[in-house]
Amino acid sequence: MGKSHSKQTFTQWDLDRFSNVTGIPRATVERLYQEFITTTGKDNRMDKKEFRRLYKELYVSGQTGTSIPAVISDHDLEKISDRVFKAFNADGSGKLSFEDFVNAYLLISQNQANTAITPRDRLNFILDQTSTTPGYVTREQGQHVLDNLNRYYTYEDTTKTTSKTTVPPGSTAPMTQNSTSGAAKDAADQNFDYMFKLLIIGNSSVGKTSFLFRYADDSFTSAFVSTVGIDFKVKTVFRHDKRVKLQIWDTAGQERYRTITTAYYRGAMGFILMYDITNEESFNAVQDWCTQIKMYSWDNAQVVLVGNKCDLEHDRAVTQERGQRLADQLDKMVDITKHRICMVSDFFYPLIGGVENHIYQLSQCLIQSNHKVIVVTHAYDDRVGVRYMTSGLKVYYLPYKPFYNNTILPTVFSTIPLIRSILLREQITIVHGHSSFSTLAHETMHHAKTLGIHTVFTDHSLFGFADLSSILTNKVLQVSLVDCHHIICVSHTCKENTMLRANLKSSKVSVIPNAVDSSAFIPDTSLRPSSSDEIVIIVASRLVYRKGIDLLIGILPEILRKYPNVKFRIAGNGPKEIDIREVIEREGTEDRVVLEGAVSHDKMRDFLNSGHIFLNTSLTEAFCMAIVEAAACGLLVVSTKVGGIPEVLPSNDTQSDIMILCEANINDVFIGLCNAIDRIQIGQIPNADEWHNKIKNWYSWYWVAQNTEIVYNHIITQKSINLKERIQRYEQCGFVSGFVMSFVAIIAYLIFLFLDYNQPRHMNLIKNHFEFLANELIHDIFDYLSSSDLIQSFNHLNKRFTFLLSQRLLKIDLSHLSKTQYENLIHITPLNQISSLKISHKSTINILFRISFNLMTNLQILILSHISYIDLRYLFERKETFCIFQQLNTFKIQSTNFNGLDQERINVLKKIFSQMPNLRICQIPLMDVNDFDDLIPTCTLEQLIIDYCTMICLGKYNFYFDN
């Protein structure tokens, strides 16, 4: 639907619908349409002059018989025509079709405050046309309307004394009541330059509502009661010759409304954090409110701390100096995001390894430093899509399967659309690739350079120069890093190796070593046996050739023969596992050599603490995180002297050192391990606590994050490398490789140009913005957990999931749960921590009747999908489930077709809604708009949503965005 579409005929149904919605006589509409066809000729398109004539005649006909003056000036017509042609003339021809004219008439009028047609009628008309006539509204037209929806959607109900401000579908704003003069003033100020959403937050009774009314209406009263949910006002101000429209939201301060109000944080550009100078408790709560801002708001939100009720100076409990000190502290706590970083690699969780741990730990520290961080990797089994980890770390598992050695098939061009969309929608400023082996990292960095995004690369491995595999890998690394802004290596040896392989200058490469989470590797000597009885040697490694497993196999029989009290525990798996088992069977040492298989990260601490010596036999290693983790647990380390290992731990062949180094051959490793066993036998055991503290001081992820941030700050000041400069640099890599990469870069650039034309870059930003608005309206910020993840998470309540439960509003989707899974779930789920519940199942009613709703004390949102009218009625009438309706603020029915409502069903729904005192948002599958007013008998409802309206806001119809 990217191209403009023009129908050749306007059907009789269209004319009838247009007449009914606008109130214009049917004969007038048909006469004008016939005149339009006759006047415009073959192309059936009008110019501005014809538009003004038709608009004026329709306007006068539509206001006849109403209290609205049926007069419109030529000046107003000129303004209207300019606005219409700017909004709907997508092809630049300077003419409009009759369908465009109808859309313009329904969406843009001379004065929205004096229009009898409600925004709901206008929108329903457009939606009806769109759903029956694909292409009726182009994406460009819909996008322009979407961008300006707020300014069009203020109107006055001529049949009532109060005015309303209706916020467009997909926004978080409910319908609220304001003064008539306020609405009229806002209507007069529809043309604004900027619009900002502001939230006033703080404890209850600090004066938020009084502050809002004083600022917006210059009024004050002492008769205010506590706000329930959300209140809303609009004020237009002038700043630097610009008209600025402020949407100011007053939130409830009570704890029981916290789950409602936090949903409105998303999209807020500023916060007024208020405390009462006469109330010490409200001042002490400021830190908690500030934490919520960091957790739920957008990254660039600004915060103003306000001490209210200064007229009560004689009752002051909080001095001005204390308020100033707190403001200075919060200025450091609530800081704008400095960088938006995309970590990308083929290697990430659920895999366990040095690269995976490095990405995760570095991302967590950067998030705590107020950076925006996402991770991009490929799919792992059924782990596809977007997942959230601790601290809200967003992980994209792209739908690409591993091709070789856990890396995707190198194609370059096939990943462009998806990577481009992610980088643009997340507004990434720095792409940080990891690992020379990662195909996804190299391709994403290549696409980022085409988009003008700065790139950083971290190399974690050492490579040779002679064999064919090394030659090919080194050439790929060279062409990938020749236009990279900066490179990070984990050791000085790794830096030298990378510089030689990729032909880099020393000034372009920095050394930032890995680190260890020392809190996860606390020594516990009680888990290891007495050295006089048994000496345990720990091996934790992938069982592959590069990790020197052949050396381990060579020394294993000799060590077991020489030391009868020595036992090996080997963790890991790989192709060399078969060779180890053959040695064990040949020597008959099954009881002294234990193959543990893969050990999960949360059990690695206990595994390490069960031994006395850690053995590392790697043939090549840039850093080796495993020996640092072992040293943190107090183990004596024996390692081959390869790569960057000598830089990691001190090893001067003294009794006080924690590591013994040996050459990468069987004899030297055997001698080194014998020395370590002898030291343990004579009692020269390292002081575990002392070495743990040393490792804690030497290797910290916060230090790694700080130094990485220095690199980010350095490269962000550099200019982006354009296509011409990139091609010039590729030429330095050799004739063949330079020609190939130049060709690839040009083709990729052309593909990006095509994508920019077909889906402009700003569309990704706007789509991301309105997806946030839709999430605010319906749920909180987390995607629903799938059934399998839900069961697995609740059965293994690890730190990540516990954090998610305690810090975020949990939304649960019980779709596709088997009976056994459900029975397991209801016994282990902390039901009181569930705030949003969605049930979509063929046997929905059976699941609903067995849920212990009385335990869901914090449930605010209930969404029922594929539920019949009979089931809904039965559910509501049962005592066991009726209690839940009393506390809901959002109730929705989706993917259900009631096939019209008879009076009996309407009466049942009336009964349901009338007994929902806290209901604020409702979505029901009704198709007849005339049933709305009769259906809702109470005044508690702030927003009523029709199914297809919500779907459009979510982009599920091709109205604003292609799905």
DSSP of 842-861: TTHHHHHHHS-GGG-TT--E
Percent of the chain with pLDDT over 90: 12
Supply the pLDDT for residue 378.
92
Task: Please tell me the distance from the alpha carbon of residue 53 to that of residue 782, in angstroms, as a whole number.
Answer: 51
Percent of the chain with pLDDT over 70: 60
Least confident of 49-63, 195-209, 410-424, 501-515: 49-63
- Tokens 């965005």 found at: 961
Structure tokens at 159: 């049949």
Range among 83-87, 172-176, 442-446, 574-578 rated most confident: 442-446
Supply the pLDDT for residue 777.
30
The residue among 549 and 170 whose pLDDT is bigger is 549
The residue among 904 and 963 whose pLDDT is bigger is 904
Supply the pLDDT for residue 63.
47
Closest CA to 341 of 370, 371, 362, 300: 371
Supply the pLDDT for residue 219.
73
Homologous superfamily in CATH for domain 194-333: P-loop containing nucleotide triphosphate hydrolases (3.40.50.300)
Sheet arrangement for strand 593-597: 593-597, 566-571, 535-540, 613-616, 636-640, 659-662
Task: Please tell me the distance from the alpha carbon of residue 22 to that of residue 105, in angstroms, as a whole number.
Answer: 9
DSSP string spanning 143-201?
HHHHHTHHHH-EE--TTSSSEEEPPPTTSSPPPEEE-HHHHHHHHHT---SEEEEEEEE
Supply the pLDDT for residue 853.
56
pTM for the full predicted model: 0.50
Sheet arrangement for strand 230-239: 230-239, 242-251, 194-202, 270-276, 302-308
> pLDDT tens-digit profile of 242-257?
778 788 877 765 554 4
Supply the pLDDT for residue 538.
93
Structure tokens at 406: 């856990």
Least confident of 43-47, 211-215, 889-893: 43-47
Domains 194-333 and 340-515+705-717 share a fold: yes
Mean pLDDT across 887-913: 68
Cβ atoms of 191 and 151 closer than 8 Å: yes
Angle, CA 856 vertex, CA 852 and CA 861 arms, to 5°: 115
Cβ atoms of 581 and 595 closer than 8 Å: yes
Supply the pLDDT for residue 469.
77
> pLDDT tens-digit profile of 708-723?
988 998 888 788 888 8
Supply the pLDDT for residue 507.
85
Is the predicted pLDDT of residue 953 greater than 60, yes or no? Answer: no
Supply the pLDDT for residue 426.
84
Cβ atoms of 608 and 631 closer than 8 Å: no
Is the predicted pLDDT of residue 24 greater than 70, yes or no? Answer: no
Residue 241: CB atoms within 10 A of its CB come to 6
Mean pLDDT across 499-528: 87
Closest CA to 373 of 354, 352, 359: 359
> pLDDT tens-digit profile of 702-758?
889 988 988 998 888 788 888 888 898 888 888 888 899 899 999 999 998 888 887
Task: Please tell me the distance from the alpha carbon of residue 919 to that of residue 251, in angstroms, as a whole number.
Answer: 16
- The domain segmentation of the chain, as residue ranges, is 18-50, 194-333, 340-515+705-717, 519-699
Range among 165-174, 673-682, 883-892 rated most confident: 673-682
> pLDDT tens-digit profile of 109-134?
433 333 333 444 444 444 444 333 33
Q: What share of the chain is helix, strand, coil (3-state, %, to 5)?
A: 50, 15, 35
Task: Please tell me the distance from the alpha carbon of residue 120 to that of residue 136, in angstroms, as a whole number.
Answer: 19
Angle, CA 644 vertex, CA 642 and CA 645 arms, to 5°: 65
Task: Please tell me the distance from the alpha carbon of residue 422 to that of residue 936, in angstroms, as a whole number.
Answer: 42
Left (φ > 0), alpha (ψ -120 to 50) or beta: where does 862 sit? beta
Supply the pLDDT for residue 93.
63
Look at the domain 519-699 and name its fold.
Answer: Rossmann fold (3.40.50)
Give the strand pairing for 430-434 and 340-344: parallel
Task: Please tell me the distance from the alpha carbon of residue 141 to that of residue 146, in angstroms, as a whole number.
Answer: 9
Count how many residues are written for the chain. 963
Coil, helix or strand at residue 540: strand
- Tokens 């975020």 found at: 808
Range among 317-321, 322-326, 409-413, 902-906 rated most confident: 409-413
CATH architecture, domain 340-515+705-717: 3-Layer(aba) Sandwich (3.40)
DSSP 720: P
379: exposed, middle or buried (Cβ count in 10 Å: 0-12, 13-18, 19+): middle
Supply the pLDDT for residue 148.
44
- Tokens 């290596």 found at: 489
Q: Which residues of 258-274 are buried (b: 16+ CB within 10 A; e: fewer)?
A: ebbbbbbbbbbbbbbbb
Cβ atoms of 631 and 696 closer than 8 Å: no
φ, ψ of residue 475 in degrees (nearest 5) = -70, -40
Residue 333 confidence class, pLDDT cut points 50, 70, 90: very low
Mean pLDDT across 603-619: 90
Residue 892 confidence class, pLDDT cut points 50, 70, 90: confident
Cβ atoms of 305 and 327 closer than 8 Å: yes
φ, ψ of residue 411 in degrees (nearest 5) = -130, -20
The residue among 353 and 418 whose pLDDT is bigger is 418
Q: Strand (E) positions, 337-447?
A: 340-344, 372-378, 385-388, 394-398, 430-434
Least confident of 536-550, 757-771, 823-837, 938-952: 938-952
Task: Please tell me the distance from the alpha carbon of residue 612 to that of residue 616, in angstroms, as a whole number.
Answer: 14
Range among 119-133, 288-302, 835-849 rated most confident: 288-302
Cβ contacts of residue 701 below 8 Å, gap of 6+? Answer: 361, 362, 364, 365, 515, 516, 517
Coil, helix or strand at residue 354: helix
Supply the pLDDT for residue 832.
57
Supply the pLDDT for residue 891.
76
- Tokens 């938006």 found at: 340
